[in-house]
């Protein structure tokens, strides 16, 4: 029996067949991690893996959720509805991005095997910054 993914303990291994193209939905991104280069001037206690990389696929964008909260008659209430305004992704294919947190002792991003490399799946809101060309 073969399945699209293989379950090994608590981690799933996902892969995309060679020659296939992927297109994320909504505001999702596929990021190929770049090698870590540490500074010689700055010493840091580093835990986990670097989550900095080049965007290889980006979704079109999404309709954001609108959250409203309040208190009425002493009782808290909350509503969530979808916006009528489409928000396109600001991050484009080819951008170098830094994701929030680190993989271990921080955020845990799912991984996928694409064209012989491990890539990270994240949302646009997970991106801390986009590196600009000088």
Please, what are the domains in the chain? Answer: 5-36+46-59+90-130 (2.30.33.40)
Q: What is the DSSP letter of 55?
A: E
CA distance 34 to 39: 15
Element holding 98 (H helix, E strand)? strand 96-99
Q: Which of 33-37, 62-66, 80-84, 110-114 has the lowest mean pLDDT?
A: 33-37
pLDDT of 110: 83
**pTM for the whole thing?**
0.70
């Amino acid at each position: 029996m073969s399945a699209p993914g293989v379950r090994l303990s608590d981690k799933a291994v996902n892969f995309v067949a060679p020659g296939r193209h992927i297109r994320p939905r909504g505001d999702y991104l596929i990021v190929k991690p770049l090698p870590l280069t540490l500074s010689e001037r700055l010493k840091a206690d580093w835990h986990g893996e670097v989550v900095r990389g080049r965007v290889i696929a980006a979704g079109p964008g999404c309709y954001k959720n609108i959250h409203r909260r309040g208190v009425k008659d002493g009782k808290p209430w909350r509503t969530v509805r979808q916006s009528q305004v489409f928000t396109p992704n600001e991050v484009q294919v080819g951008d170098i991005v830094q994701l929030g947190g680190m993989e271990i002792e921080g955020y845990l991003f799912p991984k996928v095997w694409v064209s012989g490399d491990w890539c990270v799946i994240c949302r646009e809101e997970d991106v801390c910054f986009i590196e600009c060309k000088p």
